[in-house]
């Protein structure tokens, strides 16, 4: 077993390797392998795995890449994520990718799919429409058709005929992945000092750039390590960070929240890896149906799913209570309509039950955290004072 420090170091490198060298190496080992890049938040990675592909999460360039060309593609009032991704595409970071999936989170990502089409990046560029109808026979059927399109795209590249067995096998692997990740969150729930939020982030983000089998192995070892005591408990408050599901906050921001005296016990940073809650049926004759069912019945709340029947403000409050959180930090990318338009009503839900909250906005390449640190520090102090 590797030491936790070594695992964490590896994860940090993988998480921010914007050339995706590990994924490209994996592909080079076999002619029939393909790489499929996907943007936040969620795609059913199982079908890519079953088609001999590696799903690779493209979460933006963060503060690790200077944006020059990307800015010429976007007006100043559009969030930062797509400009970083265009920069990566133009700089050939994404050159070995066979195809791209753009999940339906907003019109920026939607239109980015068209920009990839116009610049002919990859062999396919699919906008992956999440159904907003949650009836299995209506939305579920549509979701299956969306998955079938991707399967056809991949088949056209490597000729791999995807079987039910192969998808079921992938579902099993991703079930393990989801379970281990949740185990880490529940250990951190009790002992948040054992693994920091930044470390957790690195581990999860590394996972979307490597084969799931390897990530599972890594996660198992992490779980083993943090079963044991590590670090020192501090007099910190416990917070849920929400609103950062797409454009990722810079590591400096997560660190600042922690350093200001907050344990981040729940977050939506790497939501795609955690969107489906619980296990997906792994022995179905029609595994696409199982994946669609999971999307419909087991998705966590997020800004990109219509939620009138099951409002996300209430779900956030419930989650905060389950995590025994003292407060909520609304942290959204600037110009992110989905997150920002949800904020007022979610805050009202918090007010209704007396959960304190603060909010701030960031860009993925924000470099100054002084104000955020102060704000989080005051938040933590005030909670401690009044608790």
Partner 1 sequence: MADPKEAIKEKSMVIQKDMLAKQFHDLSKAKELGKKVVYTFVPGNLTELILSFDMLPVYPEINALQSGMRKKSAAYIREAEKMGHSEDVCTYVKCDIGMMLNGNIGPTGEQLPKPDLLLLSYTGCFTFLKWFENLERLYPGVPVAMLHTPYQEDGKITKDQVDYMVKQLNEEVIPKMEKVTGKKFDSAKLSKLMENSAKAEDLLVKILESAKRKPSPIDAYFAGVYYIGPIFTAFRGTDSAVEYYTELWSEVQERIKLGLGPVTPEGELKEEKYRLVMEGPPNWTNFREFWKIFYDMGAVIVASTYTKVGGVYDTGFRHDPKNPLESLSKYCMGVYTNLNLPQRVDLIENYVKEYKADGFLINSIKSCNSFSAGQLMIMRQIEQRTGVPVGFIESDLVDPRYFSYANIKNRLESYFQMLEQRKIILKQEGVEA
Binding site residues, partner 1, CB under 8 A? 72-75, 77-78, 82, 104-108, 110-115, 117-118, 126-127, 129, 131-133, 135, 137-139, 141-142, 145, 149, 303-304, 306-308, 311, 332, 334-338, 340-345, 347-348, 361
Q: Name which of 8 and 105 has its Cβ closer to ligand SF4.
A: 105
Instruction: Choose among partner 1, ligand SF4, none what residue 247 binds, the Cβ cut-off being 5 to 8 Å by kind.
Output: ligand SF4
| From the list partner 1, ligand SF4, none, partner contacted by residue 218 (C-beta under 5 to 8 A by kind) | none
User: Is the CB of 34 or the CB of 85 nearer to ligand SF4?
Assistant: 85
37 touches 338 (CB < 8 A): no
Partner from partner 1, ligand SF4, none binding residue 139, C-beta < 5-8 Å depending on class: partner 1
361 binds, among ligand SF4, partner 1, none (CB under 5 to 8 A by kind): partner 1
Peptide bond preceding 41 in cis form (omega within 30 of 0): yes
Which residues, at least 6 apart from 24, have a Cβ–Cβ distance to it below 8 Å?
35, 96
How do beta strands 262-267 and 53-57 pair? unpaired
Q: Which is nearer to partner 1, 14 or 246 (CB)?
A: 246
> What pairs with residue 239 in β-bridges?
264, 327
Task: Tell the smallest beta-carbon distance from residue 95 to ligand SF4 (Å).
Answer: 22
Closer to partner 1 by CB, 128 or 369: give it: 128
Q: Which residues bind ligand SF4 (CB under 6 A)?
A: 79, 81-82, 105-106, 108-109, 246-247, 333, 336-339
Residue 81 interacts with, from partner 1, ligand SF4, none (CB under 5-8 Å by kind): ligand SF4
- Name the binder of 132 from ligand SF4, partner 1, none, CB < 5-8 A by kind: partner 1
* Shortest separation between residue 330's beta carbon and partner 1, angstroms: 10
Q: How far is the CB of 121 from partner 1 (least distance, A)?
A: 12
CB of 106 or CB of 157, closer to ligand SF4: 106
| Backbone φ, ψ for residue 247 (5° rounding) | -60, 125
The entry of partner 1, ligand SF4, none that residue 115 binds, CB within 5 to 8 Å by partner kind: partner 1
Interatomic CA distance for residues 86 and 73, integer angstroms: 8
Instruction: Mention every residue, 6+ apart, whose C-beta is less than 8 A from residue 228.
Output: none
Output the smallest distance, CB 377 to ligand SF4, in A.
26
Q: Which is nearer to partner 1, 113 or 299 (CB)?
A: 113
Pick the closer one to partner 1 by CB: 52 or 347: 347
């Amino acid at each position: 077993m590797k030491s936790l420090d070594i695992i964490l170091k590896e994860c940090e490198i993988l998480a921010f390797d914007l050339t995706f060298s590990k994924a490209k190496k994996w592909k080079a080992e076999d002619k029939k392998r393909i790489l499929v890049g996907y943007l936040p938040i969620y795609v059913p990675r199982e079908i890519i795995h079953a088609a001999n592909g590696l799903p690779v999460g493209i979460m933006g360039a963060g503060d690790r890449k200077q944006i020059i060309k990307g800015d010429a593609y976007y007006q100043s009032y559009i969030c930062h994520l797509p400009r970083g991704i265009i920069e990566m595409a133009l700089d050939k970071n994404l050159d070995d990718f066979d195809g791209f999936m753009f999940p339906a989170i907003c019109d920026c990502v939607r239109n980015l799919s068209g920009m990839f089409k116009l610049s002919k990046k990859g062999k396919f560029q699919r906008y992956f429409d999440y159904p907003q109808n949650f009836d299995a026979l209506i939305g579920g059927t549509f979701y299956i058709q969306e998955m079938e399109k991707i399967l056809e795209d991949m088949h056209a590249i490597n000729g791999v005929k995807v079987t039910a067995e192969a998808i079921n096998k992938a579902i099993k692997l991703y079930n393990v992945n989801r379970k281990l990740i949740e185990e880490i969150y529940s250990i951190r729930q009790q002992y948040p000092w054992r693994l920091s939020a930044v470390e957790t982030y690195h581990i999860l983000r590394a996972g979307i750039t490597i084969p799931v089998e390897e990530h599972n192995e890594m996660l198992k070892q992490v779980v083993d390590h943090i079963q044991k005591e590590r670090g020192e408990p501090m007099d910190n408050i416990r917070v849920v960070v929400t609103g950062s599901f797409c454009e990722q906050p810079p590591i400096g921001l997560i660190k600042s929240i922690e350093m200001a005296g907050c344990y981040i016990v729940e977050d939506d940073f790497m939501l795609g890896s955690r969107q489906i809650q619980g296990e997906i049926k792994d022995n179905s004759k029609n595994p696409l149906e199982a994946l669609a069912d999971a999307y419909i019945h087991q998705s966590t709340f997020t800004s990109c799913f219509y939620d009138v029947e099951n409002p996300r403000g209430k779900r956030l409050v419930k989650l905060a209570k389950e995590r025994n959180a003292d407060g909520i930090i609304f942290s959204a990318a600037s110009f992110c309509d989905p997150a920002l338009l949800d904020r007022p009503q979610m805050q009202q839900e918090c007010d209704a039950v007396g959960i304190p909250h603060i909010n701030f906005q960031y860009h993925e390449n924000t470099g100054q955290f002084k104000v955020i640190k102060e704000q989080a520090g005051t938040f933590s102090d005030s909670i401690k004072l009044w608790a």
